[in-house]
Structure 1
Amino acid sequence: MADVTVSGDYLKFGVDTSGALIDLTSLTGLQFDPTGSGNFGGQPDFLYPGTPFAFYSLGVNGFYDVASPGANAFGTTTAILSLVGTTYVATSGGTYGGLKISQTITFDTTSNILHTAVVLTNVSGHTLNNIAYGVGFDPDQDYDNYSQFNTANTILGQGVGGSVEATGVNTGYTIKLSSTGGWSANAGVYLPWETNPYTLATAATANSYSDSSIGLGYHFDSLKNGKQISIGYDVTVTAVPEPATYGMLLAGLGLIGAAVRRRRSA
């Protein structure tokens, strides 16, 4: 299958044949239209500028490999299927070290969120130990329009529901990577960029304003033959209101409050 690019009201993004984000054929990483009108002309790309960097990685028994644009480590193939209504699905699958990976990216074209579901199945014939899964990317939403690779990177939480986000201080655009399954995830900020799932699952990192990657890592002690582990995470893109917008919002709330007080006194 070839790389694919999908567009919606708020998001336009590419998926590599490996199942990782970024379409190297159309030179598309991920773009965001905060108006929801599906107009991406002039909108910055979050993932393609500089060295395009998006990946997922899989580790078994202390060894690991990485799937990224142009590097199809697990022999995966990706297909885009149009489903009911406005929903698209990108599916990929492969095997590493006796562990089968099935990954599904679900995207509603009216949404600003990419949902990813990952199922790891032991097909080795015996118990597998020391399993790790990692995912991440380098956000560069301030580069196209402001020539700035740095982002404000913030770890929002750890464990179940762990999440990390990167905000472009010039565009005001934020991209968040958050765990949605019931498993504990380690959220981190990495400079130099990190793909090792064992590091992603255990490293303690700090918030920064830098050209860092952000990522999630999961670790599992063992998995019996024929058993599965299901992981979920979201990529969410939003626009942070500018100071002037905050002022207008507060002024609007003040006017509403005054109107309510007048009605009560009438």
Structure 2
Amino acid sequence: MARRAAAAVLACYSTSFGAATRLLPARERADIRALYAVVRIADEIVDSAAGLAGFDAAAALDSYEAAVRAAAGEPFHTDPVLHAFAATARRCRFTDEQLAAFFAAMRADLPAAAESPAAAGEPGAAGTAPAAFTRAGLARYIHGSAEVVGEMCVHVFLAGPPTGPRAQETLAGARRLGAAFQKVNFLRDLRHDRHVLGRDYVPWVTDGASKSEFVAEIRAGLDAARASLPELPARARLAVSAAIGLYGELTDRLDAATWDEVTGGRIRVPGPVKARVLARTLTRRS
């Protein structure tokens, strides 16, 4: 039941990532879903719930962080997603440093974070709309919100942290991939982030030319991640290849879109195109 609850969270939020996870073996697939569900719930606290009248998002995030970071040490949780995550955290040996970095990034998304440029994400001063991140602040934010999640995915694929002479290269590739995925989402969600959530993760992306430069960063990250694929087990390599293909397709569409199209809505990949990308991945494997 707990594993199914985590799977339901992923299915509700991400068709692209969800499709790639279906290529994993059952155990790894369940672990990735549990990790994703916890990450998504934390994200919802700062994105959706933070706007509810009378809701203390900061306190809720503190409480959820404490529960997540302590989860592996408890044999049973009444929250099914947390129960699934606890088993995953034990089996895959997530570190407290990874979880702390993730929640530090989430805290930078809280509305109160905009009151001080010295906050973890360094958004702009109070009263600015939207709150803009500096490049240094964004790098710290991406580390916690995406790079350490990439590291934890490697822990899932290998049932623990990587070992051997290429361990650091494997982790570096995972961090680059997590960052690239996050940057794709920054562009896809540009309008919503700036005009609904009041955040500007990439204030220097203001027109077609700067968009193209940002897309080049994304492509470099995807290429670096692709180069590290041989270090992963075969089935994990297949799933990650599929995810890179799907996000590569999104990147191509963002690159081809006009600035008005990017700022006017969310660029998507149609279902039939996703199916073709997945089919190509499977064909190359065979």
TM-score class, shorter:
under 0.3
Greater helix fraction, Structure 1 or Structure 2: 2
Larger strand percent: 1
Say which one has the larger Rg: 1
**TM-score by structure 2 length?**
0.24
